[in-house]
Structure 1
Amino acid sequence: MTNVPPTPAHLGIRLKGGLRHHYVKVGSSGPPIVFLHGFLDSWRSFQAMFVRLGQKFQLFAYDQRGHGDSEPATDYAISDFAHDAVDFIERVVGSPAHLVGHSLGSIVAQRVAAARPDLVTKLVLIGGAPTAADHPGLRELQASLAEFTDVVPNEFVEAFQRSTVFAPISEDAIGTYIAESAKVSIGAWRGALSGLVEEPADSGERSIAVPTLILWGEEDGVFDRDAQRALAGNLPDHLAINYPQVGHAPQWEIPHRVADDIEKFLLAFPAKAAD
């Protein structure tokens, strides 16, 4: 197996929601994986895993609305993010895919799997929860944005991203993630936060039959152990792996271990046909 990082092809598509989305593609063969990043992140959130997963899978990672190099939106409801994901799978991938979501992306991935199980072969949820409706920490973050008018200061962006990790990562890596977050407008900050905390509380109560891998860092300061129990309760066909001494972003902190666990799950656990 080569350790040379694959070179992503940078592409774009205007989805049905009217926004042009930037995405990257790695590889041309193997089962497809679609990656959904978290709040303020971009496709680069998963880049450290591409060298491993790109050996056996075809990888697609797009910048969600208002994030990375995709166009900003006026609407950031979780349902809007989910509609984007469905359209992306149907029009870009063109077949059912494995769906990997982190944080915000994990919630979006669950909505897609619940509504369109025919499009999701297997599901991987990293640092996730059934919902972030009325999440107290995110409500506090939402309130703190009130002091800013036109832009979110770089030092605020940096402090936020550094607060999400526990295990040490390189300054080059965290610098990349901070730079990607700095692209997000204050409107997208506010809109995406509102979409998360104002989602109907019962949105995360629907059972999902798709085989699912739950990955969680035990030092996650965003979604706690209770959230993981609630998540598992909605997933009758799941495998859960907890990482000691790891925070909210395992794919940043221990990318090789996470990629290994994802690969083993996707290859070893047979998918069930959608009803």
Structure 2
Amino acid sequence: MKRAILGSDDVLPADLLPPPWPGRLVRLDGSLVHVRDTPATSGDAEPALYLHGLAGSAQNWTDLAGLLAGRLAGQAIDLPGFGLSEPARRYTVPAFADLVVRWIEHSDRGPVHLFGNSLGGAVAVRVAALRPELVRTLTLISPALPFLDARRSLQGRMLPVLVIPRGERLVAWRLARLAPEVMAEQVMAACVADLSRIGEQRRQEALAEIRLRYEVEHHAAAYLRTFRGIVSSFLRSYLPGAESLWRQAAAVRAPTLVVGGRRDRLVDVRVAPQAARVIPDSRLLMLDAGHVAQMELPRTVARAVLGLLDDVAGVRRVE
């Protein structure tokens, strides 16, 4: 494990607040997957793929992908059941990883610079471990890698719902009782350490996404079944066998940047340093941020990504 190097801020675009990048629906293995493309601003940009967290969407990457457009031609996908993608039959880390592999193969853009936040981080680790030829570099932001102390996550209070038959009905009922504005505030408070860092435009986009969840029947089931899949992957990781996410993390050979938030309320703050210790070629950056550092401190995260890319290319740009 090494300390992350920050690339020069001067090479990043001036402060910008782009709208969500244009999206399109692509049929993949019989289902519609929503993809947002971030157009590159240079001819030699390399392909990147961004994976969001539980109940998130491709919009979570708008600012970071825009800042990196000079180096990376980005695509951000809505995982099945979230954003504008159709629901899926299975909501497990292996199922999501299979879809990501299929997307990279379908788009014929591999190997890619792979990014994952939270759930997307766990999925990205599995892809990088099992299909190394598809991944150039790996960037993990508050990855949802296994930990067992439920007290270290706000989502620990959801655990009892997993054993309730038809628990998704309870989740849907709870959702219906809260106004979208209240739900948006709760989600922001859980994910972001300093809400003053999130501008009004991003708040309104988050509210629009919350309203969308009220309109689609499958959201509650997708959320709860995905949460169950994450918990299942956590438990399996402490048992013998190749399905352990920590064993898969140890098998990752791609140069990796791990970003953690010291005020993360959803993933144990000890996970990011542990991931950096386990992944052989890793760099660690701990920030005064919450669960979505790419939204809260996008320029700092972008500089760390530039540092990773320069390090891999043999170029050193320091602060």
TM-score under structure 2 normalisation? 0.76
1:113 aligns with 2:132: no
Matches within 5 A, 1:6-155: 8-16=21-29, 18-27=30-39, 29=43, 30-131=45-146, 135=150, 137=153, 138-143=155-160, 146=167, 147-149=170-172, 152=175, 153=178, 154=180, 155=182
Q: Give ranges in structure 1 of 5+ residues lacking alignment.
A: none
Is the CA contact 1:250–1:258 (under 8 Å) kept in the aligned structure 2? yes
- Cα distance, 1:55 vs structure 2: 1.7
Is the CA contact 1:6–1:51 (under 8 Å) kept in the aligned structure 2? no
How far apart, in 1, do the equivalents of 2:157 and 2:53 lie? 18
Question: Residue 273 of structure 2 aligns with which residue?
Answer: 229
1:187 aligns with 2:230: no
How far apart, in 2, do the equivalents of 1:231 and 1:54 lie? 27
How far apart, in 2, do the equivalents of 1:133 and 1:89 lie? 32
How far apart, in 2, do the equivalents of 1:224 and 1:24 lie? 30
SS at match of 1:74: coil
- Cα distance, 1:268 vs structure 2: 2.9
Question: Residue 256 of structure 1 aligns with which residue?
Answer: 299
Question: Residue 7 of structure 2 aligns with which residue?
Answer: none
Is the CA contact 2:260–2:286 (under 8 Å) kept in the aligned structure 1? yes
- Cα distance, 1:51 vs structure 2: 2.6
- Cα distance, 1:26 vs structure 2: 2.0
- Cα distance, 1:159 vs structure 2: 1.2
Is the CA contact 1:129–1:230 (under 8 Å) kept in the aligned structure 2? no
Structure number with bigger Rg: 2
1:63-102 per-position Cα deviation (integer Å, ceiling 9, x unaligned) = 1111101001231011111001101111114320000000
Q: Give ranges in structure 2 of 5+ residues lacking alignment.
A: 1-11, 214-218, 239-243, 315-319
- Cα distance, 1:25 vs structure 2: 1.3
How far apart, in 2, do the equivalents of 1:188 and 1:130 lie? 20
Runs of 4+ residues over 4 Å off in structure 1: 1-4, 132-136
- Cα distance, 1:229 vs structure 2: 3.2
Equivalent residue for 1:266, pick from 296, 302, 309:
309
How far apart, in 2, do the equivalents of 1:2 and 1:212 lie? 24
- Cα distance, 1:177 vs structure 2: 2.4
How far apart, in 1, do the equivalents of 2:211 and 2:99 lie? 22
Is the CA contact 2:38–2:66 (under 8 Å) kept in the aligned structure 1? no
Report the CA distance shift for 1:10/1:156 in structure 2 as closer, same or farther (over 3 A): closer
- Look up the equivalent residue of 2:299 and give its one-letter code: H
1:160 aligns with 2:184: no
1:13-57 per-position Cα deviation (integer Å, ceiling 9, x unaligned) = 2223x3210101122541111000111111110101233211221
Equivalent residue for 2:237, pick from 183, 191, 201:
201
Report the CA distance shift for 1:132/1:25 in structure 2 as closer, same or farther (over 3 A): farther
Aligned length, in residue pairs: 269
How far apart, in 1, do the equivalents of 2:27 and 2:149 lie? 31
SS at match of 1:159: helix
Report the CA distance shift for 1:243/1:78 in structure 2 as closer, same or farther (over 3 A): same
Cα RMSD after superposing both structures: 2.4
How far apart, in 2, do the equivalents of 1:182 and 1:75 lie? 24
SS at match of 1:55: coil
State the identity %.
Answer: 29
1:187-218 per-position Cα deviation (integer Å, ceiling 9, x unaligned) = 11111111111122242122112110001111
SS at match of 1:61: strand
Q: Which structure carries more relative contact order (alpha carbon 8 Å, separation 6+)?
A: 2
Is the CA contact 2:255–2:282 (under 8 Å) kept in the aligned structure 1? yes
- Cα distance, 1:144 vs structure 2: 5.8
- Cα distance, 1:108 vs structure 2: 0.4
TM-score under structure 1 normalisation? 0.88
Report the CA distance shift for 1:118/1:135 in structure 2 as closer, same or farther (over 3 A): farther
